[in-house]
Amino acid sequence: RATWRPNKYSYVLGGCKVFIKFPVVKLLDYQAQWQDLEESTNPFAIMTMAHLTTLMTQGKPQRRQQGKWDVVRKLLEKGYDQEDIRKLFRLLDWMMTLPEELQQSFEEQLSRYQQERRMPLLSHMEIRGMQRGAVQNAHEWLLEVLTIRFEVVPPEVIEAINQIEEVSILKQLHRQAITISSMVEFQKLLSYNQTDS
């Protein structure tokens, strides 16, 4: 929410009071300063652009692919050293997930860009490795939430979750697992997702 700007915290306990007032920095405010972000050499500018683009393209995968490409290209052209680029790219790639077919298209575009400029920043193996890592992490996070919420996760649910390879679906299931009322409801949701995909 653009208007939500908490700038203080306080609590009282046993006659003691703690009060902290702090400045607020809201990433949404930087949307009006996009050109400044593009021109900045600060790595946080790139990540702010990635965050804002992710917010603006929710539910719009084609636009997100283009936005992701624009931000990655800026990252590659800023002159950072190779290790910084890799670290920033990993975070950016995790933030700006794409459906599998668009992710493949994005990777092909990135590969062509690297070949044209002779900049082997990320090999296909690294990209695939990062994808596998993102999928594995998403599996683990989802199973952890289910275990915390319902204590026991049936083996068939674990198996079904581990068969899902799209991070976007796993993230959606993760969000739903946080608020769903029962394991039975989650299993129905999981079955629906399997028949839908």
Q: What is the pLDDT of residue 55?
A: 93
Could you tell me if residue 6 is inside a domain? no
Distance CA 8, CA 10 (A): 7
**90 & 116 share domain:** yes
21 falls within a domain: no
Give the Cα separation of 50 and 69 in Å (integer).
Answer: 10
Which of 61-75, 97-111, 119-133, 180-194 comes out lowest in average pLDDT?
A: 119-133
Boundary (domain end) residue, out of 102, 122, 142: 122
Give yes or no: residues 82 and 167 share one domain.
no
On whether both 46 and 110 belong to a single domain, the answer is yes
Residue 125's pLDDT is: 58
Q: Quote the pLDDT of residue 165.
A: 86
Question: Could you give the CA distance from residue 87 to residue 90 in angstroms, rounded to a whole number?
Answer: 5
Q: Judging by beta carbons within 10 Å of its beta carbon (0-12, 13-18, 19+), is residue 122 exposed, middle or buried? A: buried
Please tell me whether residues 143 and 108 are part of one structural domain: no
The answer on 71 and 44 residing in a single domain is: yes
Provide, rounded to the nearest whole percent, the portion of the chain with pLDDT above 90: 50
Q: Domain range holding 156? A: 133-196
Q: Are residues 56 and 78 in the same domain?
A: yes
Q: Which of 122, 151, 177 is the last residue of a domain?
A: 122
Range with the lowest mean pLDDT among 8-12, 46-50, 113-117, 192-196?
Answer: 192-196
Same domain, 61 and 146: no
| Pair (49, 108) in one structural domain | yes
pTM of the model: 0.56
104 and 49 in a common domain: yes
Q: Residue 191: pLDDT band by 50, 70, 90 thresholds?
A: confident
How many domains would you assign to the chain?
2
In a domain, 86, yes or no: yes
CA angle 38, 39, 45 (to 5 degrees): 55
Residues 78 and 47 occupy one common structural domain? yes
164 and 78, same structural domain? Answer: no
Q: Which of 122, 155, 179 is the last residue of a domain?
A: 122
Q: Looking at the structure, do residues 32 and 117 belong to the same domain, yes or no? A: yes
> Domain for residue 137, yes or no?
yes
